[in-house]
Amino acid sequence: AIHLISARTKEFVGSLKMNDECQALTFSRSGGQLFTHGDGGEVYVWDVRSRTCTNKFVDDGCIAGSALAVNSNYLATGSSEGVVNVYNLNNINKTNPTPDKVILNLTTQINQLSFNPTGEILAMSSELRDSAVKLVHFPSKTVFSNFPTTKNIFRINSVSFSPAGGYLSLGNNKGAALLYRINQYKDY
């Protein structure tokens, strides 16, 4: 079950029930939709106002879901097999949407997915292997070949972009918070 709490009043609003254990969830940019991903590899699309499931589909090639991220155009799903699927939000309400892009650059469970604030970069990481982090450019959906620049960043367990997207921070299993400047954003 997924319990909804009002951010303003801190009161219980309601519950949503999935068929599997929920492993990841994220709200749409507008807050009107909630996306959830479970152990069975299914993605649920919920209408927050009515608290009803508007669509449910099997994430392509996924055995168990592990991560989700959304920007204004795409939904990214991560799986326990290391597959990241990118779906166009315009097609997400189809019965069996197909991913626009399948990213196979990591070979262990995807633990973190995060879009930068402008939606131009997707960071994906796995905490099961050293230096298992990649950045994907949007809208070209290509993986940056020059990141990470070093191999001694250990196991990444948290990923976050600064509010304007000029910096990327990676937390690792050694207690370090690594900070990277993204040179594409000159005015930050």
Query: Looking at residues 64-73, what average pLDDT do you find?
Result: 97
Residue 186's pLDDT band, with cuts at 50, 70 and 90, is confident
Tokens (6 digits) for 20: 């599997």
Interacting residues of 10 by C-beta distance below 8 A, sequence separation 6+? none
Count of residues making up the chain: 188
Structure confidence at residue 183 (pLDDT):
85
H helix or E strand, kind and range, residue 67: strand 65-70
Q: What is the pTM of this model?
A: 0.94
Give me the pLDDT at residue 188, please. Answer: 61
Got the DSSP string for 142-175? EE-TT-SS-S----EEEEEE-TTSSEEEEEETTS
Cα–Cα dist 42/63, whole Å:
9
Give the model confidence (pLDDT) of 2-26 as tens digits.
999 999 999 999 999 999 999 999 9
Maximal C-alpha separation, the chain? 48
Q: In what order do the strands lie in the sheet with 33-38?
A: 22-27, 33-38, 42-47, 52-58
Q: Which residue has the tokens 């929920």?
A: 22
Q: State mean pLDDT over 151-172.
A: 94
Q: Please say if the pLDDT value at position 82 is more than 80.
A: yes
Structure-token pair, residue 134:
């990649």
Cα 31 to chain centroid distance, Å, stands at 16
Contact 156, 127 (CB under 8 A): yes
Is the model's pLDDT at 153 over the cut of 90? yes
> Average pLDDT of 28-32?
93
